Structure 1
Amino acid sequence: MSDVPHLRFPEFSGEWEICKVSELLDFYSTNSLSWEQLEYGTKAMMNLHYGLIHVGLPTMVDLTRDNLPNIKEDNMPKNFELCKEGDVAFADASEDTNEVAKPIEFFDLAEKNIVCGLHTIHGRDNKNKTVIGFKGYAFSSYAFHNQIRRIAQGTKIYSISTKNFSECFIGIPSKTEQTKIATFLRLIDERISTQNKIIEDLKLLKSAISLNVLHSDTWEQFKVKDIAQIGRGRVISSIEISQQKSPTYPVYSSQTSNDGIMGYLDDYMFEGEYISWTTDGANAGTVFYRNGKFNCTNVCGLLKLIKGFDTHFVSLVLAEATKKYVSINLANPKLMNNTMGNIQIRLPKLEEQKRISIVFRVLQRLWTIHNSLLTEYIKQKQYLLSQMFI
């Protein structure tokens, strides 16, 4: 193991101290309170559940803005150790080796009482080797998690215990360098948080605008089958996709992630503006606007609008309408072609359709830009975690 990281602030030099984690941290007992024994919004003692480490909390927990559940009355543990600022907590189990020993650090407790709960490991640097804010990132680093992956136990569920920390090491620089690293990474985290807020606000804005401009009783009513040709794609297997020589044209499927793209083919089946929707499965009734050269599978329905209608605008109206027509079949919900054809929607004149469509295209463009920025910030953080620690 190298005694200096690959990437370092230029004003620092000299080797880092390599420290066994079990010698750096003292560990404290945790409780086993389940979600049923917790609630939000009271003034009782707070409890860190391991699920919040996996999803819901940033690396640096700041209780001036982050929130933890409170322990319900009559469920208070008899023996406990209150968390202090600078303490770390690890999730001791996960189905994913990348998530085992995922850490948080208590950066600001806002004078609140917190204990660590179910499936967490509570550690504290009583030797004062580290500054508040450094450990959470050091234990999030690739250098540390590569060690954890080698020792995590289990088949379907991977887990660690405090004993495993006698096999793990982290590098510790001077406190001045620790502070610089921690401050830098915390600023990136804050930028990621801001970016998430911008994206969420854009979603809310789109929803609010949708409620106000996509519905009017004064608009003319149409059945979908009267304004569009209705079809669907064909069976396209993953084997066919894997055998393509120069895959260029997207294949849209029933999934909603990645814009519905399951792969690419050398050739295309459709060209131009269409509306696709998912006909089968959990995502049945999900509507997409498509424009370009593309393919789609047999679980994608397709609408090709006749002249006099704006395809993008109609896709927005349908996206609001289709969920009411999905068959109530929990095993395999469906929205088949005949049902889609009989859906009735209200539409304004073409010029108004186009004007409203422009607003939503701008919102979509903004969302795409900010989502791309978020992706780049996350990549940047991951790169720094892979290069700035040993």
Structure 2
Amino acid sequence: MRFPGFTEPWQKCRLGDYIRIFSGESPNRINSEYDKIPYYKVEQLNWCEKYLGETPYLSQRGKNILPEGCVVFSKRGAAILTNKVRMNLFPINIDTNLMGIKADNSFILDQYLFYFILRARLNRIADTSTIPQINNIHINPITIYVPSLAEQEIITKFLALLDERIATQRRLIEDFISLRRAILQDAIKRGLSKKSWKFTTLNDILTERGERNSDGYDVCSVSVSEGVVNQIEYLGRSFAAKETRQYNVARYGDIIYTKSPTGSFPYGIVKRDTQKEPAAISPLYGVFVPKQDWIGMLLGYYFESEVNTFNYLHPIIQKGAKNTINITNSGFLANSIPLPSNESEASALAKCLDTITNKIVLEKSVLTHYTEQREYLLSKMFV
């Protein structure tokens, strides 16, 4: 697939002959007031659109500063399989789990190299015999076909417009999520002020399900962003034990507590199961049945907030010597959260929040369409 007016053959090259490779290094934590640049870790590969000002800094005396326009990606571990690739918009330094490459000539545009690496897909390049990893020996021999600079520019501008639309769609989804949280927090504030809400112990509104997976339901994980998800469909493989009859069963509307640190949830996450089909859940998780559906709906929205989740769990959690979380299922139910006293008010609020959720689901499907369109174009516009 080519734009009109371009007929010249693309030049076949060995990628290693036209790029400079940057390896990450451990931070020396030198903090200079005048010449300092951000230092990024592998879990911070989302800084393409915004600057993370609270990261540790490396002085420009660091050995391996990445100039603006490098293509950056993970070089070891599971992050390779997600094909997460970014281009830095300002000089940075990176940790030992990251790698950066940059066109070292006037023959290949930085943005073209970025889209080429996206098209190549890291999981196809990496050595996956043990722990997935990418080194110079995997990058250098890659064959790249390069059109004229004029054609590179029009290709990258077109794809950049689509990327901009994808970024806008993601921000739209984030805005709806923020709106949903703001509506709930405002309702809590007004309800407590008017005394139409009261603090309710979870032990009074949840009961442990206690059902085991004797019917062999599909094993699911619990994701921060997606909630209960099928392991194979979402993660590409199953991480379950060979024998799953001792796994817990979760059904639609249940509340699940994972009991393990995840991202910005240091004490684990609490999610409502919105899958219609029953699921097998790790025996390490707690599965609870709400007395009424609106209770489960409000609990699900309440615990979406990192702050709400932390404030609920922090007083009742005990951490072990190896930072493990020690809490029983009954212990999880011991604290309280604010809930409406009036069922009709609670149901109306839950339905309002669900309306926004349905809009988020719709916008996510639009986002999926755009990302699939980009994948298709990448597969057709690069040799």
Q: 2:184 aligns with which of 201, 210, 224?
A: 210
- Work out whether 1:359 is the aligned partner of 2:359: no
Q: 1:385 aligns with which of 375, 378, 383?
A: 378
How far the C-alpha of 1:369 sits from its partner, in A, is 1.9
Instruction: Say whether the 8 Å CA contact 1:20–1:165 is kept in structure 2.
Output: no
1:219 matched residue in structure 2: 196
- The 2-side partners of 1:31 and 1:261 are apart by 34
- Cα separation, partners in 2 of 1:8 and 1:301, compared to 1, 3 Å: same
- Work out whether 1:374 is the aligned partner of 2:367: yes
Identity of counterpart residues, as a percentage? 17
1:302 matched residue in structure 2: 288
Task: Report the AA paired with residue 51 of structure 1.
Answer: V
Count of matched residue pairs: 346
Task: Report the AA paired with residue 318 of structure 2.
Answer: I
How far the C-alpha of 1:241 sits from its partner, in A, is 3.5
Give the SS at the match of 2:212.
coil
- Work out whether 1:124 is the aligned partner of 2:108: no
Q: 2:272 aligns with which of 288, 293, 301?
A: 288
2:158 matched residue in structure 1: 184
Give the SS at the match of 2:211.
coil
Q: 2:77 aligns with which of 91, 95, 114?
A: 95
Instruction: Say whether the 8 Å CA contact 1:134–1:182 is kept in structure 2.
Output: yes
- The 2-side partners of 1:168 and 1:325 are apart by 54
- The 2-side partners of 1:105 and 1:262 are apart by 31
- Work out whether 1:278 is the aligned partner of 2:254: no
Task: Report the AA paired with residue 297 of structure 2.
Answer: H
2:171 matched residue in structure 1: 197
TM, length-normalised to structure 1 = 0.68
1:55 matched residue in structure 2: 45
Instruction: Say whether the 8 Å CA contact 1:279–1:335 is kept in structure 2.
Output: no
- The 2-side partners of 1:70 and 1:270 are apart by 41
Residue ranges of structure 1 left out of the alignment (5+ in a row): 1-6, 243-250
Instruction: Say whether the 8 Å CA contact 1:137–1:182 is kept in structure 2.
Output: yes
2:133 matched residue in structure 1: 158
Give the SS at the match of 1:8.
coil
- Cα separation, partners in 2 of 1:333 and 1:167, compared to 1, 3 Å: same
- Cα separation, partners in 2 of 1:118 and 1:326, compared to 1, 3 Å: closer
- The 1-side partners of 2:379 and 2:231 are apart by 30
- Work out whether 1:148 is the aligned partner of 2:125: yes
Give the SS at the match of 2:168.
helix
Instruction: Say whether the 8 Å CA contact 1:253–1:300 is kept in structure 2.
Output: no
1:241 matched residue in structure 2: 217
How far the C-alpha of 1:171 sits from its partner, in A, is 0.7
2:114 matched residue in structure 1: 136
Task: Write out per-residue CA displacement over residues 48-86 of structure 1, whole angstroms, 9 at most, x where no aligned residue.
Answer: 65738x71243xxx8xx65686855xx442877883x6x
1:349 matched residue in structure 2: 342
Give the SS at the match of 1:230.
strand
TM, length-normalised to structure 2 = 0.69
How far the C-alpha of 1:15 sits from its partner, in A, is 2.6
Give the SS at the match of 1:141.
helix
- The 2-side partners of 1:327 and 1:192 are apart by 39
Q: 2:37 aligns with which of 38, 46, 63?
A: 46
CA RMSD after TM alignment: 4.5
- The 1-side partners of 2:57 and 2:255 are apart by 47
Instruction: Say whether the 8 Å CA contact 1:224–1:344 is kept in structure 2.
Output: yes
Give the SS at the match of 1:260.
strand
- Cα separation, partners in 2 of 1:219 and 1:92, compared to 1, 3 Å: closer
Larger Rg: 1
Instruction: Say whether the 8 Å CA contact 2:108–2:146 is kept in structure 1.
Output: yes
Give the SS at the match of 1:277.
strand
- The 1-side partners of 2:295 and 2:28 are apart by 48
